[in-house]
Structure 1
Amino acid sequence: MMRLEEITAAVEAGRGGDRAAARTRLTALWEEIDDPATRCVIAHFLADVQDETEDELTWDLRALELVSDDQWLPSLHLSLADDYRRLSRPEEAREHLAAAEANLSKLPAGDYGDLIRSGFEHVAQALAAGSVQRLETNPST
Structure 2
Amino acid sequence: MTSTPAAPDPTMETIGRAVELGRAGDVDTARRQLADLWQEVGPSGDPFHRCTLAHYLADLYDHPAEALIWDIRALDAAASLSDERAQAHHQSLQVAGFYPSLHLNIADNLRRLSAFDAAQEHISRAEERSVALPDDGYGRMIRTAIEEVGAAIDLRDTARRDSAPGGS
Same fold judged by TM-score > 0.5? Answer: yes
Q: Mark the CA change 1:2 to 1:39 in structure 2 (over 3 Å): closer, same or farther.
A: farther
SS in 1 for 2:98: helix
Choose the corresponding residue for 2:152, options 126, 130, 133.
Answer: 126
What is the percentage of aligned positions where both structures have the same residue?
41
What residue number does 1:75 align with?
101
Aligned equivalent of 1:88 = 114
The letter for the 2-side match of 1:115 is M
- Deviation sequence 1:49-84 (CA, Å, 0-9, x none): 013211111100111111022211000000000000
CA distance in 1: counterparts of 2:49 and 2:60, whole angstroms? 17
Give the deviation of 1:12 after TM superposition.
1.8
* Matching of residue 10 in structure 1 with residue 18 in structure 2: yes
Could you tell me whether the CA contact under 8 Å between 1:2 and 1:38 is conserved in 2?
no
Aligned equivalents of 1:118, 1:35: Cα separation in 2: 31
Distance 1:126 1:42 in 2: 27
Aligned residue pairs: how many? 141
Question: What runs of 5+ residues in structure 2 fail to find an aligned partner?
Answer: 1-8, 82-94
CA positional deviation for 1:2: 6.4
Q: Which residue of the partner structure matches residue 134 of structure 2?
A: 108
1:20 aligns with 28
Say yes or no: does 1:61 pair with 2:87: no
SS at match of 1:54: helix
Q: Which runs of 4+ in 1 moved over 4 A?
A: none
With a CA cutoff of 8 Å and minimum separation of 6, indicate the structure with the bigger relative contact order: 2
Structure 1 gaps of 5+ residues are none
* One-letter amino acid of the structure 1 residue matched with residue 97 of structure 2: Q
**Could you say what the CA RMSD is over the residues aligned between the two structures, in angstroms?**
1.4
Range with bigger deviation, 32-41 or 92-101: 32-41
